[in-house]
């Protein structure tokens, strides 16, 4: 139900705005808006406030903004969420905030308790960086990998059963986060280097995902390579809770892009396209062209 009646409808609506144009920056004009729109609608935020949600999300997830701006965005999102919480207490709907209001959590003493308003606000606020930023960066990086390797994209167009493998290769090749921080719970040693309990350890996802002892030619983007587990979603107790939903978002996006943007390619007039970022990585720009209905375009 989520895929057919919600996610796919959202993708189609986002892409249909762009189809007649024949060109767009798929990073700014699609990949950024798509997951944030999903979160806003799923949470139950009013549709008329989605533009404000975009602005708040941009400030919450971008350290280029001043701290005062990011704190103000956080306060605005909190106020918006609390208003929806108050409405849903009176009029429940089929949305995430209603689900959270109706949920009960088992306490250490065995009793069950409802979530507090503060806990629901924190949950929604967490969804912005955890659910929106990572997905839009992953989608942008995946499209960058495919369109800078047109032979790989053509394989996908000709054989859509390769879409799941393309998604996993994109996650392996350029994951959205460079590293995860963890705190050592015991004294131990890695490659002769002692790690004391309580130390913060930075686990480099990019390095692990390009380990030549696990993948042949690991720096190459290849959607036909044999599937092997990567660590882009983390591992163990900290594995990403939203990984299945994220994979579905990416799959639906690719299916509809292939269907609705024929002869998709990078804009031949664009230059200096690259992936950047020290902690969160993505292509900032992805100017593309395609054959718009009723128009003939050439690369």
pLDDT tens track for 177-235: 888 888 999 999 988 999 999 999 988 999 999 999 999 999 999 999 999 999 999 88
- Over 50: is that where the pLDDT of 297 sits? no
Residue 12: CATH number of its domain: 1.10.630.10
Q: What percent of the chain has pLDDT above 90?
A: 63
pLDDT given for residue 102 in this prediction: 95
In a domain, 211, yes or no: no
Domain for residue 203, yes or no?
A: no
Give per-residue pLDDT as tens, 54-92: 788 778 877 778 889 989 989 998 999 999 999 999 999
Indicate the pTM of the whole model.
Answer: 0.88
* pLDDT given at position 233: 92
Q: Both tokens of residue 260?
A: 């609705």
Across 125-129, 163-167, 183-187, which has the greatest mean pLDDT?
Answer: 163-167
Q: What is the tens place of the pLDDT at every residue in 226-243?
A: 999 999 998 888 888 889
Between 3 and 201, the more confident residue is 201
Can you read off the two tokens belonging to residue 154? 């053509």
Q: Is residue 237 included in any domain, yes or no? A: no
Number of folded domains that form the chain: 1
**pLDDT over threshold 50, residue 298:** no
Q: Kindly state whether residue 68 falls inside one of the protein's structural domains.
A: yes
Give me the pLDDT at residue 204, please: 92
Confidence at residue 15, expressed as pLDDT on a 0 to 100 scale = 96
Q: What is the pLDDT of residue 30?
A: 96
* 97 pLDDT above the threshold of 50: yes
Mean pLDDT for the chain?
91
Q: Is residue 294 part of a domain?
A: no
**Does a structural domain hold residue 230?**
no
Per-residue pLDDT for 295 more than 70?
no
**What domain range includes position 268?**
2-175+242-289
188 within domain boundaries: no
Asked if the structure places residue 232 within a domain, the reply is: no
146 vs 177: which has the higher pLDDT: 146
* pLDDT 10s digits, 5-58: 789 999 999 999 999 999 999 999 999 889 888 888 888 888 778 778 878 877
């Amino acid at each position: 139900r989520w895929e057919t009646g919600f996610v796919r409808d959202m993708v189609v609506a986002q892409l249909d705005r762009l189809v007649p144009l024949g060109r767009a920056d798929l990073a700014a004009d699609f990949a950024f808006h798509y997951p944030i729109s999903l979160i806003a609608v799923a949470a139950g935020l009013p549709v008329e406030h989605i533009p404000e949600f975009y602005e708040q999300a941009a400030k919450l997830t971008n350290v280029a903004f001043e701290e005062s701006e990011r704190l103000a965005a956080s306060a605005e999102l909190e106020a918006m969420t609390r208003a929806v919480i108050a409405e849903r207490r009176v009029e429940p709907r089929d949305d995430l905030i209603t689900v959270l209001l109706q949920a009960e959590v088992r306490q250490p003493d065995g009793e069950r308790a409802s979530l507090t308003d503060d806990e629901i606000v924190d949950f929604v606020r967490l969804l912005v960086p955890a659910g929106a930023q990572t997905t839009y960066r992953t989608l942008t990086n995946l499209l960058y990998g495919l369109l800078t390797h047109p032979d790989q994209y053509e394989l996908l167009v000709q054989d859509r059963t390769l879409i799941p493998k393309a998604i996993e290769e994109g996650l392996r090749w350029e994951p959205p986060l460079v590293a995860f921080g963890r705190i050592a719970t015991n004294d131990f040693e890695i490659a002769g280097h002692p790690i004391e309990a309580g130390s913060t350890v930075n686990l480099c996802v990019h390095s692990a995902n390009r380990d030549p002892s696990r993948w042949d030619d690991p720096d190459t983007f290849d959607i036909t390579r044999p599937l092997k587990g990567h660590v882009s979603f983390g591992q163990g107790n900290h594995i990403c809770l939203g990984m299945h939903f994220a994979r579905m978002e990416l799959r639906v996006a690719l299916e509809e892009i292939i269907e609705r943007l024929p002869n998709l390619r990078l804009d031949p007039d664009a230059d200096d396209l690259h992936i950047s970022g020290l902690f969160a990585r993505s292509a900032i720009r992805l100017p593309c062209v395609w054959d718009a209905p009723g128009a003939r375009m050439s690369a």
